[in-house]
Structure 1
């Protein structure tokens, strides 16, 4: 009998865990000075891992960061320069001001270890191509030596990802040592399900279920008011926004990720400016045009700091991403007389 709660999208799981941690908390902790309500040993399953974004006006999810972090992982990077541009708060977790450590999950997953010729991810893909029912497709991330330095500012929250090929689908089980339910959970599920779908594409499979287990699931006291607003919104909204997240193209390879990130870097450094037509003619699949549109919109917000955003770029976004951008940055909400909201 399945005992892990099932949800069709991350939004349902997020709301259920917020309620559990705020209404039925088991403990109140103050790890490293962060006071929080905590529950131990919880999890959920997503039946459709592509539904990886919540649509809650009070939460104001940032889809620019979501894509940036997922691509940063998929490229196997650990540089602070890129990810710190989208999330300046992550700079505090760097020991040297240049790289991130434990939280650079992609570097652990997609870069060969010392003396190895393949990354752990590539080894698991090769394993599953040759042994379809294998139980060995586990990708460990947390390492015991991360605890040897008591002052380590960046210990991995992700213990590991388990890829399981069953009945023609690629399932993933994620094990977290800890998850901030209001902040980290949403970013983690977005990125990890992107990794799952990317792996499925490399294997020529459909993504199956995504299962997420957490050792310490917590809500920080400093976020309690926002969490209350989110739960109140979920209880009172007359309709629930619903947008289908598109399917990753079967043509996606490591070269695709590198090409998208080339455009990201040029935009982040404000070396180029793209129109909607320019992006449509880059030679990228429509799916991968979407993050480039987001990065250009963020370039306009971060560098141009104009009072208006190019409406053609907003119109080029998938409806769900447009909905999120309008709520995260009001400048991206265009009024009814010329606009897309």
Structure 2
């Protein structure tokens, strides 16, 4: 089956609905699921990456952190646990994700940076069909482990000046996998690869051999679908924060990013002038909103609203309002960002 959607918000709602209506009941490893086989989902605007679904309760901070962690080639659980507290539950040794995508992409068998190899292929031959990345390793992954890669292959094609991305997935939980992590993290790589190859971002196509929902979401999914009426911040002229770091600067920028992240996490009240000097707007914006994750427990509603008002209006800031507003509903009534306020007025009406 194949479905085409504008962005991840539309795709998630449509996928939940289709799985609940058409999916077969299958019990896998003792867990009941509803499953559709060989599902193809196309996102026409993958860079509209932030998920806005009433009742979905996604964590934008975790999405941002994990995506940058993967891009940096990391698989250490200690750092990721700051943003994904359950990360150790998916590790065999509670220290690393054995099959983490980061090392598979950036240091395959400790020697091949697949991101760089694909970049060079696409730059050298804009019609190439050889630009592929492998995430499943037959030499390592036919084992009993908590961590077998679900995303197995990524392919790239430039056509009509647009870079199209395809992802093959053996097993895809529509709730926490596809809409929670995969669409977001691969959109980051997609945007950067387009920049490095001088192309526009094309579509992102996800093929899932098993596309499913677990029983724990059988009631949640229809509720989310019924409350989504087809709007997202991108309908309100709210700008995205672009990724613009060059390939030659990537390693240094990421190293600096993680240094600053540690500082804002351990001392979020500290004024760090270097944040304003960070020249990639997405990476800088990520630090600004992650700082608020750690600072928020120390602030009153009025103080938090003032901190939010200091941020430039963007989709990332809208996602931060959504996340923090669940615990601080007064925050959604104190917005200084006019476009985001207009969006939430319509969004809250859906609830």
TM range (shorter): 0.7 to 0.9
Contact 1:77/1:106 (<8 A) preserved: yes
Q: 1:76 pairs with 73, 77, 81, which one?
A: 73
Q: 1:22 pairs with 11, 20, 23, which one?
A: 20
Distance 1:229 1:129, change over 3 A: same
1:10-159 matched pairs, under 5 angstroms: 10-25=8-23, 27-102=24-99, 104-114=100-110, 116=111, 118-150=112-144, 152-159=145-152
Deviation string, structure 1 residues 155-194 (Cα, Å, up to 9, x no partner): 1000111111222221111111111101111210010011
* Secondary structure of the structure 1 residue equivalent to 2:53: coil
- Normalising by structure 1, what TM-score? 0.87
Q: 2:154 pairs with 156, 161, 165, which one?
A: 161
Q: Quote the offset at 1:319 in angstroms.
A: 4.2
| Corresponding residue of 1:228 | 222
User: Matched residues in 2 for 1:233 and 1:272: separation?
Assistant: 35
Q: Quote the offset at 1:337 in angstroms.
A: 5.7
Contact 1:50/1:246 (<8 A) preserved: no
User: Matched residues in 1 for 2:208 and 2:151: separation?
Assistant: 9
Deviates more, 1:180-189 or 1:47-56: 47-56
- Normalising by structure 2, what TM-score? 0.85
* Secondary structure of the structure 1 residue equivalent to 2:129: coil
Confirm or deny that 1:181 pairs with 2:174: yes
Q: Quote the offset at 1:286 in angstroms.
A: 3.2
Deviates more, 1:285-294 or 1:42-51: 285-294
Deviation string, structure 1 residues 182-224 (Cα, Å, up to 9, x no partner): 1111210010011111111122222111111111111111122
Instruction: From the two aligned structures, give the one with the greater helix fraction.
Output: 2
User: Matched residues in 2 for 1:79 and 1:228: separation?
Assistant: 35
Aligned-pair RMSD on alpha carbons? Answer: 2.5
Deviation string, structure 1 residues 235-265 (Cα, Å, up to 9, x no partner): 5x8x655344333226474122332222112
* Secondary structure of the structure 1 residue equivalent to 2:79: helix
Distance 1:294 1:338, change over 3 A: closer
User: Matched residues in 1 for 2:332 and 2:11: separation?
Assistant: 33
User: Matched residues in 1 for 2:143 and 2:287: separation?
Assistant: 39
Deviates more, 1:86-95 or 1:307-316: 307-316
User: Matched residues in 2 for 1:133 and 1:165: separation?
Assistant: 6
1:252-291 matched pairs, under 5 angstroms: 253-254=249-250, 255-268=252-265, 270-271=266-267, 273-275=269-271, 278=273, 281-291=276-286
Distance 1:111 1:147, change over 3 A: closer
- Structure 1, unmatched stretches of 5+, are none
Distance 1:16 1:84, change over 3 A: same
Distance 1:142 1:288, change over 3 A: same
